[in-house]
Structure 1
């Protein structure tokens, strides 16, 4: 089963962008996310609509952070991505008239709702600034400087 890592990837890119002076191209961000620049532009458009990033056209243009990292939560970013499905699991629906299937689905629905509510609460508590602070603490512990070209080195 394939996991949807879009939220994680977008958060990763946003934190990289927060460390860079100046705009970053879709092509460059696509390399960081290991995807196509068209996918990056589509994702960034949703973030731009919420005011989290802005784009600059022309030579030397690209994407920039346009928000206060302390004011944006992981839930905000999740919602800007269109609130993708959280769980890969779902209910069986082959026999909707079956009372056993109805009982199982009712129990599962309740569990899914509770788990989703808990996750949304947690995502609403964590800001981009908190992620950035964690990154900077890890960087300081490593004793290095931030260099985007070597940021993914072990």
Structure 2
């Protein structure tokens, strides 16, 4: 099963941007994420349109964060990346006249709506600034983990 990782990728990029003194190129970000620079530019366009990042052209150019990390929530970023599906599960719709299918779909729909509501509320309570602080705390605590993505920038 393929998951939609746009939200986590954009959050990853934004925390890196917040920690950099200068702009990050699409090529550097692409190398960090193992993807193509065109994919990076396309993904960042939603964040640019929302006013969270800005791109500078030319020598020394690249992407910079333009928002206050404390005021932008993970929900804001989720909205800016196009509100990707939160869950990979869904309902069967092959026989809509079947009452059993209808009952099952109602139950699953209710559960998914409830779970989505909880998740959206949690995204609303977390800021980019908090992600940045969580990173600092994990690093200070000596948590194992590769920082190899920083070397790509």
User: What TM-score do you get using the length of structure 2 for normalisation?
Assistant: 0.92
Q: RMSD over aligned Cα, in angstroms?
A: 1.7
1:99-123 Cα distance to aligned partner (Å, 9 max, x none): 0000000111111111101100000
How many Å separate the matches in 1 of 2:22 and 2:114? 42
How many residue pairs get matched? Answer: 149
- 4+ aligned runs moved over 2 Å, structure 1: none
SS at match of 1:110: helix
Q: Which has the higher contact order (CA 8 A, sep 6+)?
A: 2
- Matching of residues 1-154 of structure 1 within 5 Å: 1-142=1-142, 148-149=150-151
**Structure 2: gaps spanning 5 or more residues:** none
SS at match of 1:35: coil
**Structure 1: gaps spanning 5 or more residues:** none
How many Å separate the matches in 2 of 1:150 and 1:81? 23
How many Å separate the matches in 1 of 2:113 and 2:3? 20
